Amino acid sequence: MEKDFNEFKEIIKGKRVGVVGIGVSNIPLIRFLVDLQAVVTAFDKKSYSMLGNVATDFEKIGVKLVLGEDYLNDLTGFDVLFKTPSMRIDNPAFLKAKQEGTYITSEMEEFIKYCPAKIYGVTGSDGKTTTTTIIYNILKAEGYKTWVGGNIGIPLFANIEEISKDDKVVLELSSFQLMTMNVSTDVAIVTNLSPNHLDIHKNIEEYIDAKKNIFKYQSDGDLVILNKDNALTYDLRKEAMGKVKYFSVRDKLEDGAYFQNNKLFSMNNVVCNLEEIKLKGMHNVQNLLTAFCATQDDASITSMREVATTFIGVPHRGEFVREVDGVKYYNDSIASTPTRTIASLKAFEKPVILIAGGYDKKIPFEPLAEEAYKNIKILILVGATKNKIKEVFERILKEKNISLEIILAENFNKAILTAKAVAKSGDIVTLSPACASFDMFQNFEARGNKYKEIVMALQ
């Protein structure tokens, strides 16, 4: 179906449009809507002084601002409302607006609806960013003009008129972005599923239902890529609308991507040997296989091989920082779930000194203790969840009659200094928190950067 952005321009012109949340993706959106001659009001919890130049610039171009704690008091009287991804659609303010007949959407929904290029959407509990980046690099290596967006890259909706139908677009999509979607990407990729974001989602069922929207509205000519080794993901095949392809590190697959005899295969062709890839760990082998599977129709084995053998990873994902006194320090700040931390720890060839803990996403820590105790030499805990994780580990280790040194750190800085104090030459120290960062930091990048800054300053 031909997508015509002129249709959106006609719809939005002169309309009363509210944008809820003045954040990274909505700032260019607000400017774009003004350019398209909409009458724009922007809402945010932050104060005028906190927004600084952004607020001043918006007022200059005629944007009305509703700011402060009570910013959601009244969302009525709008034709269209764009919501920020992390805000639930069942928020009373949105429900009231919806009853009035307001069309509620998001920057990402409208982008997918009107983007003329083929879109690859990547979701899952772990590995999204690395997989998205590998797909982007393979398509670029093949010679396509390629755009990357969603949770990473730049907000793309404001650039939609620069994107042609011959381009390729790769989007990393979170459960929050997908939760209200009624439109799907041409290629829908689910890396894996495990409990996540249960601080915002009502339960795991709601979380998985949100992820399903990535393929739920596809047509039969579209493609779904699923992880055959992950039961929750493999189960989605029963609901797929388009063609389904799988990747696996366990089974040989004729029509997908797989790992056997220390080789990575795509459509039964060898792409490369395990020792040729720069990324550590089987979770990264899975990320590469996912990307091969997703790009089989558009890219050559040569392009896949070029990326697989040269790609060194994305910052904050198993990133080597430096070696001090024979101790290697790694930054895996992206690991905000127990499953992610388990995969990260298994990538090392021996037990490590692990720094973990942070904001509580209400995810159980039992799997971390059950599966990863063998991979931990010393456990250093910090942040809001430190006592919760300690209790889980102590209970499970007692059941197994195993001892493990667990240290509680007062703050983030002390956690790293403690790791240096207990580490001996030949040890590995990794920050792989199994928790989100919001108790101490704005995001996982800020946490990872602080870790790197402290490690770089170690004497």
54 and 189 inside one domain: no
Domain boundary among 76, 105, 134: 105
CA separation for the pair 47, 57 (Å, rounded): 15
User: CB neighbours of 44 closer than 8 A, spacing ≥ 6?
Assistant: 20, 21, 22, 51, 65, 66, 67, 71
136 and 282 inside one domain: yes
117 and 242 inside one domain: yes
Residue 3 lies inside a defined structural domain of this protein: no
Where residue 194 sits, what CATH number does that domain have?
3.40.1190.10
CA separation for the pair 223, 161 (Å, rounded): 25
Per-residue confidence (pLDDT) for residue 353, from 0 to 100: 98
Per-residue confidence (pLDDT) for residue 249, from 0 to 100: 96
Segments of the chain scoring below 50 in pLDDT: none
Instruction: Count other Cβ atoms within 10 Å, centred on residue 186.
Output: 19
Per-residue confidence (pLDDT) for residue 195, from 0 to 100: 62
Nearest to 292 by CA among 283, 282, 302: 302
162 and 235 inside one domain: yes
Q: Which two tokens stand for residue 34?
A: 């003004």
Q: What is the DSSP string of 406-453?
A: EEE-SSHHHHHHHHHHH--TT-EEEE--SSBSTTTSSSHHHHHHHHHH
CA separation for the pair 413, 450 (Å, rounded): 9
Residue 2 lies inside a defined structural domain of this protein: no
Nearest to 157 by CA among 197, 213, 110: 110
334 and 443 inside one domain: yes
Segment holding 213, helix H or strand E: helix 204-216
Nearest to 299 by CA among 142, 74, 458: 142
Q: Which two tokens stand for residue 85?
A: 């991804």
Q: Which two tokens stand for residue 389?
A: 């994780």
Residue 283 to residues 77, 86, 230, 300: CA-CA distances in angstroms? 48, 27, 12, 23
CA separation for the pair 20, 42 (Å, rounded): 6
Residue 313 lies inside a defined structural domain of this protein: no
CA separation for the pair 397, 402 (Å, rounded): 5
Nearest to 432 by CA among 448, 418, 419: 448
214 and 263 inside one domain: yes
232 and 288 inside one domain: yes
Domain boundary among 260, 289, 308: 308
Instruction: Count other Cβ atoms within 10 Å, centred on residue 105.
Output: 17
Nearest to 117 by CA among 161, 166, 160: 166
Where residue 342 sits, what CATH number does that domain have?
3.90.190.20
**What letter would DSSP give residue 42?**
E
> Is the distance from CB of 65 to CB of 86 less than 8 angstroms?
no
The parent domain of residue 179 ranges over 109-308
Where residue 65 sits, what CATH number does that domain have?
3.40.50.720
273 and 390 inside one domain: no
Residue 294 lies inside a defined structural domain of this protein: yes
Task: Report the domain count for the chain.
Answer: 3
179 and 303 inside one domain: yes
Q: How far apart are the first and last CA of the chain?
A: 61
Q: pTM of this prediction? A: 0.80
196 and 154 inside one domain: yes
* The amino acid at 196: N
Instruction: Count other Cβ atoms within 10 Å, centred on residue 451.
Output: 28
Residue 414 lies inside a defined structural domain of this protein: yes
371 and 258 inside one domain: no
> Is the distance from CB of 34 to CB of 57 less than 8 angstroms?
no
The alpha carbons of the chain give a radius of gyration, in whole angstroms, of 23
Residue 393 lies inside a defined structural domain of this protein: yes
Per-residue confidence (pLDDT) for residue 317, from 0 to 100: 84
User: CB neighbours of 25 closer than 8 A, spacing ≥ 6?
Assistant: 84, 85, 107, 108, 155
Strands (E), 21-132: 39-44, 64-67, 80-82, 103-105, 118-123
Per-residue confidence (pLDDT) for residue 200, from 0 to 100: 58
130 and 276 inside one domain: yes
Domain boundary among 86, 105, 124: 105
Residue 283 lies inside a defined structural domain of this protein: yes
